[in-house]
Amino acid sequence: MTADLSRRMVLAAPVLLSACADTSVSAAPADVKQGTNSKLLVAYFTRSGNTKVIAGTVQRALVADLFEIRPAKAYPEDYEQTVEQARQERDRGYEPPLAATVKDIGSYDTVFLAFPIWGETAPPIIRSFLKAHDLSGKTLRPLITHGGFGPGNSASVLKSHAPAARIEQPFIMEADQERRTLNTVTGWLSQTGL
């Protein structure tokens, strides 16, 4: 491990501990952005925007309702800190509190659930979302982006957290990795000597 990386992990530690301890927040129901097709909901989680583009494309094409899944406590701006926090949460089976829940989930027939792969699985907040919303009898259509390593074990997470939903074949797409962009920009910066 490089000195720089270990220093960053030490700096990240208090952030991670406080994030993991924060289990008391209960999410209030929020309004979704309304389409005219009120039986369809597109719910999405995104960090760097790839998944939002896909969610928005589906939502506009089908004139569905739209809901952004957000944690009550935002993940760090720093990419490496987020990777580390996500890894810890995954390993502990931690389900972070949601900032808000969908007001009337019962009114939808089909829920498109759009998310990026984090640590070879669905992000922890997706487990929180599924835990907080009863999708029994509904069709669940996953829309998944990943950075080149595929959907991992996300299918089994969906199955275990939405056991009574009818889960359709997922749409899966490779999309840009923030890490690649960061590395490219950092390399360029160091060449400039700035």
| Residues making contact with ligand FMN (CB under 6 A) | 46-52, 82-83, 86, 116-120, 145-149, 175-178
Comparison of 148 and 163: residue with beta carbon closer to ligand FMN:
148
In the complex, the smallest distance separating the C-beta of residue 98 from ligand FMN, rounded to whole angstroms, is 17
Q: Could you count the other beta carbons within 10 Å of the beta carbon of residue 190?
A: 9
Give the nearer residue to ligand FMN in terms of CB position, either 140 or 143: 143
Of 118 and 129, the one with the shorter C-beta distance to ligand FMN is 118
* Distance of alpha carbon 173 from alpha carbon 116, whole angstroms: 9
User: In the complex, what is the shortest distance from the CB of residue 75 to ligand FMN, in angstroms, rounded to a whole number?
Assistant: 8
C-beta of 51: minimal distance to ligand FMN in Å? 3
Map tokens 């640590």 to a residue: 119
Find the shortest distance in angstroms from Cβ 166 to ligand FMN: 25
CA distance readout (Å), 161 to 9, 19, 66, 127: 31, 22, 21, 7
Q: How far is the CB of 172 from ligand FMN (least distance, A)?
A: 10
Cα–Cα distance for residue pair 170/17, rounded to 1 Å: 34
C-alpha torsion angle, residues 179, 182, 187, 189 (rounded to 10): -170
Q: Give which of 111, 120, 177, 113 is closest to 143, Cα–Cα.
A: 113
